Amino acid sequence: MADVMVAMSGGVDSSVAAALLVNEGHNVVGVTLKLWGGASDSGCCSVSDVDDARRVAQQLDIDHHVFNFGDDFDEFVVNPYVADHQAGRTPNPCVECNRHIKFDRLFRRADALGFHLVASGHHARIAEETLDGAMVRRVARGADDAKDQSYVLHMLGQTQLERLIFPVGGYVKDDVREVASALGLRTATKPDSQDVCFIHSVGGREVFLGDRIPLRPATLVDSEGLQVGQLESIEMVTLGQRRGLNLGGEDHRRYVIDIDHETATVTVGEREALLTAVQRVENMEWSHQPEAGRFGVQTSAHGRVQGAEVEVLDDGLTVVLSWDQPQQRVAPGQSVVLYRDDAVVGGGIAGVALRPTAPAAS
């Protein structure tokens, strides 16, 4: 049996992850990360979550510690989130939290305390294959399609995967709650947390960003360049957006098809104008090594997988996707993840999507 550090968020998944490892006979220590010091009502990063994790650890008779990574969270998650909105990108803070905090900063703390193995309550699995005589590990989809979190774990490479455990990855959520109930864990019926822990439901993104950066009004124009409205903040707009455009009374839907931050102009049009045959993806991170060929591609946490032919450019950090069928352009800043069957091959950040008539990048 091994010494295992378990990240306990105060939710049911990480509670059951710790319980399963205890039942297997491992020497388990629970840790909770204190990340956000502001107001939170999302079901994560709050004082009550720390207390829930601590009390579950008491029920399991394991040690529990709280690590304050608030400064790192501000530096690597919150501040880039604000900067991305200001620059016209659509960030994914959960991906950045996993990249910089949960699977970097926490791992360094585990090393300092002598823990080789780290576990979490993510709904994902680790797939293994042998390539050229060497063991290669990849993040794979969890058993519960509706709760699968492999998309937000796409950045994990061999160094992390050889020491990671996802105890609930083979369970559907209902079974996780049944285990928690059978063990009498206080988190058994606790609601799932929301995606962005630092955005409060009162005021939402607009108040959060408005307290940190000046929000600029934008002119709303149609595809012919004619003004059709005004928006309070260009920083609140994302590519493909339909709601919140104040275009009430129209008998057809219009979407944001272009955002020009330099001139503070937002163009709306038909959905067809969002479609592209070719999508550029930058800052690629590979589970093993760069790979070209045919892959399933996911462009949002619970989006449908679409087929594409993938070309890897010379730097290995940029790929160009040629979609089987034209797809909606991905908002710059969002994650794009490549799958072979259920396993993640790599993922990166959406760059500029090329229009159907444009030649593919080379």
Token pair in block for residue 204: 């939402």
Structure-model confidence comparison of residues 247 and 125, the more confident one = 125
Report the pLDDT averaged over residues 337-358.
82
Contact 290, 278 (CB under 8 A): no
Which of 44, 45, 94, 197 is catalytic? The answer is: 197
pLDDT of residue 199: 85
Given the structure tokens 């009162």, which residue do they identify?
202
Contact 214, 237 (CB under 8 A): no
pLDDT band at 251 (very low <50, low <70, confident <90, very high): low
Query: What share of the chain has pLDDT > 70, as a percent?
Result: 93
CA–CA distance, 93 with 198 (Å, rounded to integer): 10
Half-sphere exposure of residue 110, counting CA atoms within 13 Å on the CB side?
27
pLDDT of residue 356: 44
- Give 209-245 pLDDT, tens digit per residue: 999 999 999 999 999 999 999 999 999 999 999 888 8
Query: What share of the chain has pLDDT > 90, as a percent?
Result: 82
Mean pLDDT across the chain, nearest whole number?
A: 91
Q: Where are the beta strands (DSSP E) in 61-175?
A: 63-68, 117-119, 124-131, 134-141, 164-165
Smallest CA-to-CA distance from 5 within 126, 169, 119 is with 119
- Give 69-93 pLDDT, tens digit per residue: 999 999 999 999 999 999 999 999 9
pLDDT of residue 202: 79
Q: Is 45 a catalytic residue?
A: no
CA–CA distance, 286 with 292 (Å, rounded to integer): 11
- List phi, psi (to 5°) of 317: -105, -5
Report the pLDDT averaged over residues 349-356.
69
Alpha-carbon torsion, ordered 190, 194, 197, 203, to 10 deg = -120
Which of 44, 45, 94, 97 is catalytic? The answer is: 97
- Give 306-328 pLDDT, tens digit per residue: 999 999 998 899 999 999 999 99
**Residue ranges of domains in the chain, CATH in brackets:** 3-121+167-183 (3.40.50.620), 215-269 (2.30.30.280), 275-354 (2.40.30.10)
Report the pLDDT averaged over residues 127-140.
92
Answer whether residue 360 shows pLDDT above 60.
Answer: no
